[in-house]
């Protein structure tokens, strides 16, 4: 019969079974797959060659596609993708089953190897979607960050990244997704569930889909340990004021240079605001330097509350503070100066003592990227001193000229 020639010559392993699961007709490809002759398979139930853990005892009257294991005549176990179709008589009644099997052992063994390597890796491993959301994580990564697997799978990497490190993470993700890099490696801080920072070395790569475009990410995470925290602390001390934690002169210089570079791209105006406390020395003389230091930290907190997260707040020593901000226009610069002046003109409670906080606040702006940083600082400083003299005249501390 014509169908038998097609059946016998098919490279796919095929068989016809009765409704009880007994082989009635098998082709040569099925014999090679299972290692039996056609005579040996004839009358044998497919359950006899199925792995005991995968035996299907349900009814065989419906079409189905499933993965399962067969045991060959030599005892070897193979994985197959099995497709069953019902052959019906002219009245629609089930008569036979057509079974087609594809050997997927190599694929399944590779998947199992990956799954075991992923689960048991001594470093953190994860799969992420293209938005950076974790879709699979191993136990090592969960332990590293202190979250359960269920908690991790509700988060993206951005949810546990320190704000200061978020930009480099997003830039690295964009490099991968836009094809500029095949693999990225970066160091960044993650926040442990209990709040402490963890420095992590991250290596990520994209896995392409059928269309050749990135489908998901594979990432590895290594805890860099306490030494990295010590190094980071020392680096922080080199660029920050030890009393207030604000930027110091070295970091301020860098942020000024960066702001002027941004102006070259047509980004608004750069404003520098200088604030000088008017009453630090009397406080130190009357209450001691410990209380004066506490007042300086309160000023730092007020300044940080008055600016945006991307702005720079620095202490240049003594009672002088500087703010650097890239704004849309000069009116925004005036509003920021006024907001800071208002923040620093109030009564505060310092270690149980109520003190009048007051400062002279000057500013300068530029939209010219060729402006020298020292000139911009000098202009803001000069404006601050003019306002300080005005305050003194208004308070009677300085005679009119």
pLDDT tens digit string along 20-54? 999 999 999 999 999 999 999 998 999 999 999 99
400 pLDDT band, cuts 50/70/90, is: very low
Residues with Cβ within 8 Å of residue 28, at least 6 apart in sequence: 8, 38
Domain with CATH 3.30.70.270 in the chain: 240-395
Q: How many helices (H) and strands (E) does the chain have?
A: 13, 16
What CATH number does domain 240-395 carry, 1.10.3720.10, 3.30.950.10, 3.30.70.270, 3.40.1350.10? 3.30.70.270
* Residue 285 parent element (H or E): helix 280-287
Average per-residue pLDDT in the chain? 87
Pairwise CA distance, residues 319 & 323, whole Å: 14
Domain with CATH 3.30.450.20 in the chain: 2-106, 121-233
Is residue 206 scored above 50 in pLDDT?
A: yes
375 pLDDT band, cuts 50/70/90, is: very high
Express each pLDDT in 69-126 by its tens digit. Answer: 999 999 999 999 999 999 998 998 999 999 999 999 999 988 888 889 898 899 999 9
Q: Is 3.30.1330.20 the CATH number for 121-233?
A: no
Is residue 2 scored above 70 in pLDDT?
A: no
> Over pLDDT 90: what percentage of the chain?
47
Q: What is the mean pLDDT of residues 360-384?
A: 94
Angle at 265 between CA 304 and CA 176, to 5 degrees: 85
Cβ atoms of 128 and 217 within 8 Å: the answer is: yes
Express each pLDDT in 315-351 by its tens digit. Answer: 987 889 999 999 999 999 999 999 999 999 888 888 7
Q: What is the mean pLDDT of residues 348-369?
A: 88
What CATH number does domain 2-106 carry, 3.40.50.1970, 1.20.120.420, 3.30.450.20, 3.40.50.2000? 3.30.450.20
Within 13 Å and on the Cβ side, how many CA atoms surround 101? Answer: 27
pLDDT at 401: 36
* Strand boundaries in 116-258, DSSP class E: 124-128, 134-137, 183-191, 197-208, 214-223
Residue of 225 and 200 predicted with greater confidence: 200
Is residue 399 scored above 70 in pLDDT?
A: no
Pairwise CA distance, residues 359 & 320, whole Å: 9
Pairwise CA distance, residues 151 & 145, whole Å: 11
Residue of 127 and 4 predicted with greater confidence: 127
Within 13 Å and on the Cβ side, how many CA atoms surround 282? Answer: 7
Paired tokens of 393: 């005249």
| Residues paired with 99 in a beta bridge | 15, 84
Tokens 């001691």 belong to residue: 288
pLDDT at 230: 54
Cβ atoms of 201 and 124 within 8 Å: the answer is: no
Enzyme catalytic residues? 319
- DSSP state for residue 240 in the 8-state scheme: B
Pairwise CA distance, residues 389 & 344, whole Å: 17
């Amino acid at each position: 019969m014509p169908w038998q020639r097609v059946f016998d010559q098919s490279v796919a392993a095929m068989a016809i079974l009765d409704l009880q699961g007994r082989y009635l007709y098998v082709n040569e490809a099925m014999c090679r797959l299972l290692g039996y002759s056609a005579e040996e398979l004839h009358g044998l139930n497919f359950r006899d060659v199925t792995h005991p853990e995968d035996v299907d005892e349900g009814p065989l009257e419906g079409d189905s596609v499933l993965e399962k294991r067969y045991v060959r005549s030599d005892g070897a176990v193979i994985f197959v993708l099995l497709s069953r179709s019902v052959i019906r008589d002219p009245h629609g009644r089930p008569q036979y089953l057509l079974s087609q099997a594809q050997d997927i052992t190599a694929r399944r063994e590779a998947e199992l190897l990956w799954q075991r390597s992923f689960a048991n890796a001594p470093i953190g491993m994860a799969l992420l979607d293209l938005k950076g959301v974790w879709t699979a994580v191993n136990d090592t990564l969960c332990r590293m960050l202190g979250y359960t697997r269920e908690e991790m799978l509700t988060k993206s990497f951005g949810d546990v990244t320190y704000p200061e490190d978020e930009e480099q993470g997003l830039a690295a993700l964009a490099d991968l997704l836009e094809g500029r890099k095949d693999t990225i490696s970066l160091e960044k801080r993650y926040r442990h569930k209990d709040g402490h920072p963890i420095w992590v070395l991250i290596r990520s790569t994209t896995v392409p889909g059928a269309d050749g475009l990135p489908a998901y990410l594979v990432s590895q995470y290594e805890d860099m340990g306490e030494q990295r925290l010590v190094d980071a602390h020392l680096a922080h001390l080199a660029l920050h004021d030890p009393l207030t934690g604000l930027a110091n002169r070295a970091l301020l210089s860098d942020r000024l240079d960066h702001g002027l570079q941004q102006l070259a791209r047509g980004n608004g105006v750069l404003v520098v605001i200088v604030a000088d406390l008017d009453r630090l020395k009397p406080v130190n003389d009357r209450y001691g330097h410990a209380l004066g230091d506490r007042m300086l930290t309160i000023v730092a907190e007020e300044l940080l509350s008055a600016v945006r997260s991307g702005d720079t707040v620095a202490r240049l020593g003594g009672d002088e503070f500087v703010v650097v901000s890239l704004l849309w226009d000069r009116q925004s610069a005036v509003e920021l100066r006024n907001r800071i002046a208002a923040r620093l003109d109030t009564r505060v409670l310092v270690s149980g003592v109520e003190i009048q906080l007051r400062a002279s606040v000057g500013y300068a702006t530029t939209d010219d990227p060729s402006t020298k940083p020292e000139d911009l600082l000098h202009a803001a400083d000069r404006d601050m001193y003019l306002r300080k003299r005005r305050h003194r005249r208004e308070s009677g501390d300085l005679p009119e000229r």
